[in-house]
Structure 1
Amino acid sequence: MASNLLSVVYASAPSGQVLLPTLDFYSDGFDERIRVVQGFEDVTVTLPDGERATFEACGIEIALPKHDSSGQQAIQFGLVNVMGEVSRIIDQTHKAGYPVRMTYRLYLSTNLEEPAELPMHMIVKDVAMQGGMAKITASYNDMIGTAWPRERYTSQFSPGLIYL
């Protein structure tokens, strides 16, 4: 990972270095991936598995989650989506019962061969249209919705329970 270079960019903002946040949507409910990058030009990058992928330029507003001990970590972002294509596809897939997954990767404009930090893998929780923007919320660490203990004591798990 290019984390040392990323630390330099965050600390000093050298000229010629641009952060390129990318969003990669995928699901069993639609055939092609929806790949967008924040900016004015399409960008071709190398994914961590070695595949080359082109991300379509898009206006993106991103609010990254805090790194803390709260129960549910969520990322919120808006995609400029005047035609409503992204919102429509994700909403239809979500309503059909397929989970829509999303990967957030951050690249540096000077190194498109690897992400500058570890990717975040999330599940889309909510999609709403507001004006010409698709407002999307995704979660990657749902501690509140996680059962504890993970194993539930049911009659299938513990057959003796039916005698209580």
Structure 2
Amino acid sequence: MNDVLAQLLSGHDPTIYRIPAVELTCSAWETAIRNIPGWDDIVLGHEDGQQHEYLGSPLDLALPASNDSGQQTLGFALGGANADAEDLVDQALDANAIIYLTLRMYASNNLAAPARRPLRMVVDEPTFQPDGTLQVRCRHRDLLFRRFLLGRFTANKYPGVALFV
């Protein structure tokens, strides 16, 4: 797999290109929302060996920066979201359940498994636009709100912390 990734990143072979795949999941849903950019639907393999169909649709995404900041907020736009997707998002909001977005990158010559380790993010603000676009904002590398930090440095325990907030 490293050879495929090396070729993909080096850019020497113009016939191999990256395919981003976006999957939205939630504990309140029985099915997931899966999209890839383009017109054609494609069956892609996941890291666990299972095969899933991804719907071709307009997809706009910003790849995460490779830096060491404590929190990164990313935006994704999935065009052509149907009424089923809107119902699923409403179900998640009504159940107060967390929606996760998983970004998988595939090499065009190997659709059996992702070329990189998938990125799993928490969706903050899913909104539907009048043109049928589902826009989601996600948190990636959210070190500021990790569970191990909660409750450690509070103003009640450490009054000096309030000066830096």
Q: What TM-score results when the alignment is normalised by the length of structure 2?
A: 0.79
State the partner residue of 2:35.
Answer: 36
Unmatched 5+ stretches in structure 1 = 154-164
The 1:149/1:126 distance shift into structure 2, 3 A limit, reads closer
State the alpha-carbon separation in 2 of the partners of residues 32 and 13 from structure 1: 38
State the partner residue of 1:140.
Answer: 140
State the alpha-carbon separation in 2 of the partners of residues 13 and 42 from structure 1: 27
Q: Deviations over 1:101-123 (max 9, x none)?
A: 12110111210111111100111
CA displacement at 1:17 relative to structure 2: 1.9
Query: Match of 1:135, as an amino acid?
Result: Q
CA displacement at 1:130 relative to structure 2: 3.4
Percent sequence identity is 22
Unmatched 5+ stretches in structure 2 = 154-165
- Structure-to-structure mapping, 1:4-153, within 5 angstroms: 4-12=3-11, 14-81=13-80, 83=82, 85-132=84-131, 133-146=133-146, 149-150=149-150, 152=152
Contact 1:128 1:135 in 2 (8 A): yes
Q: How large is the RMSD of aligned CA atoms in angstroms? A: 2.4
Greater share of helix: 2
Contact 1:87 1:127 in 2 (8 A): no
SS state at 1:9 partner: helix
Q: Deviations over 1:79-99 (max 9, x none)?
A: 113545434522441343010
State the alpha-carbon separation in 2 of the partners of residues 149 and 15 from structure 1: 45
State the alpha-carbon separation in 1 of the partners of residues 25 and 149 from structure 2: 31
